Amino acid sequence: MPAPFLNPIPQLKAARLACAGGLLLCLIGQGAFAVDVLVVTDSGHPVQSVAGVRVIELDLPERIEAELAVGLPNDPSRAAALVQQHLREGGQVLQRHIGSAYQGVADAWGLGIAKVPAVVVDQRFVIYGDPDVARAVARIEAHRRAQP
C-alpha cells in the first residue's frame, strides 16, 4: 500500500508560525527594555543587570573618595594638595566619574528611592528588593498590562 500523500504546506505554515512567534517574543522582550529603566543599588546589594540599563550605586561617591584618600598624610594642607594633584592627574575622566556618581545619588534621592536594590521603570514604577533586573521589569510590565 502506498504511503499517503503528506501535504508539506501545513507543516511549512506551522514552522513559519513558530518562527514568527519566537521572533515576536524576542521583540516583545526587547520592548520591555525600550522603556526608561533605572537600577539603584549599592556595593552590598549586587544586581543582575541588563545591557543598556543605567545603574546607580549609592555608595560610589564614598568609594571614590576613599580611593583618593589612600595614603594621605595627617597634615590637612599637605593632604589637600595631594588630593588636588590626584584630581589633576585623573583629568576630566576622573572628574566626570565623580560628577556622575554624585548625580546618580541626586537622581535616586529625587525619585524618593527608599531602599535598595530598586528597579525603576519610566520614573513611575518601582520594584524593591529584586536583584534580577529582567524579572523586576517583567513584573512591572505585567502590572502595567493588567492596569491599563
pLDDT tens-digit map of 16-57: 444 434 433 443 444 444 479 999 999 999 999 888 899 999
* Closest by Cα among 145, 127, 143 to 39: 127
pLDDT for 26 equals 42
pLDDT for 5 equals 40
pLDDT for 21 equals 41
pLDDT for 35 equals 78
Q: CA 47, CA 30: separation in Å to the nearest integer? A: 19
Secondary structure of residue 90 in the 3-state scheme? helix
pLDDT, averaged across the chain: 82
What is the pLDDT averaged over residues 94-99?
94
**Whether the predicted pLDDT of 101 surpasses 60:** yes
**Whether the predicted pLDDT of 127 surpasses 90:** yes
Task: Note the pTM of the prediction, 2 decimals.
Answer: 0.71
Half-sphere exposure of 41 (CA within 13 A, CB side): 20
Phi-psi region of 91 (alpha: psi -120 to 50; beta: other; left: phi over 0): left
pLDDT band at 61 (very low <50, low <70, confident <90, very high): very high
pLDDT for 31 equals 46
